[in-house]
Amino acid sequence: MLSQMKVVLGIFVENVMSPAVARTGELDEVVKTLKQVLARYVVDRHAAPKEVLARHLGKSHRWLYRQLEDMEQEPTRPPRGDGGHKSHEGHRLMCDSLRYFHEISPSSGSATACAMYLRDHGWKISTFELEPLLELYSGMGYLDRLPREKPTDEVAFRAREAVYTVKASGREERMQLLERHSGALIPIAVSYLRGDEAARFSMSEGEVLEEHLISAVRDIWRYQVRRLNEAVEASIRDDPDEVGPKIRYRAMFLCGLGPFFDDPGGG
């Protein structure tokens, strides 16, 4: 069990956490947050003395108390979707650059024009310094690199609409559901790695018209809910006295859209 958990954790860090952190550049902030939320998690979920929890984590009790104190002393954060902390210089530069392509020049823009915009907003950066960064942001899925009409033309970029456009209604409720449901990912992955017959961890991808995908996803979700409810009803019917062994399951249906799927480095 422990070895399987470590394998799954390593896979998630490499394929989920690392690509996400790389796209924001917020390495130090993520490490800091991870320490704090881990300390808070073990204290909130387990009744053992803090000294015992600290030993379990291989740390001193002073380390555990420091993480808890740092978390409590931080100023009130804005909603998590907005970052919730003061970003470092690299992250702010990326956000300001993307803001130029989204708000100032949504159809297309060059590194030269973007650099002028940035200099007007307090940045000391040249076109020569900015262009490779824009290439990086393009590779991360934030920008589209447009083809040159002439070999002598400067490379132009355009913001991807999905990077900024938020269509979801009830965003706060979705955030709460995301936080609550995402905790099932690792147990499901461990169950799949263990070889449980009912465990599934598969993915499909392709290109379809949006209306057909929306219809298909709705049908799949409805069938999932209906079929699992049928299994519950059949279990009650076949074992009315509830004397037979039961197993607890968690089923999850995930589907999403986005330019990040085009990035071979992750997504």
Q: In what order do the strands lie in the sheet with 109-110?
A: 109-110, 156-159, 143-146
Q: What distance in Å separates the CA atoms of residue 78 and residue 82, rounded to the nearest whole number?
A: 7
Which value, in Å, is the radius of gyration of the alpha carbons in the chain?
A: 24
Integer angstrom CA distances of residue 34 from 28, 31, 52, 105: 10, 5, 20, 37
Give the pLDDT confidence of 68-90 residue by residue, as tens digits.
888 777 654 444 444 445 567 88
Does residue 42 contact residue 65 with C-beta atoms inside 8 Å? Answer: no
Contacts of 267 (CB under 8 A, 6+ apart): 19, 141, 258, 260, 261
Give the 3-state secondary structure of residue 146: strand
Q: What distance in Å separates the CA atoms of residue 157 and residue 110, rounded to the nearest whole number?
A: 6
Confidence at residue 78, expressed as pLDDT on a 0 to 100 scale: 46
Instruction: Give the H or E element holding residue 159.
Output: strand 156-159
Token pair for 22 = 């790389």
Nearest alpha carbon to residue 66 among 31, 35, 112, 109: 35
Tell me, yes or no, if the pTM score tops 0.95.
no
Confidence at residue 120, expressed as pLDDT on a 0 to 100 scale: 93
- What are the residue ranges in the chain where pLDDT is below 70? 1, 74-87, 161-169, 258-267
Give the pLDDT confidence of 139-192 residue by residue, as tens digits.
888 898 888 877 778 889 998 865 555 555 677 888 888 888 888 898 999 999
Confidence at residue 164, expressed as pLDDT on a 0 to 100 scale: 57
Q: What distance in Å separates the CA atoms of residue 136 and residue 14, rounded to the nearest whole number?
A: 19
Q: What distance in Å separates the CA atoms of residue 188 and residue 183, rounded to the nearest whole number?
A: 9
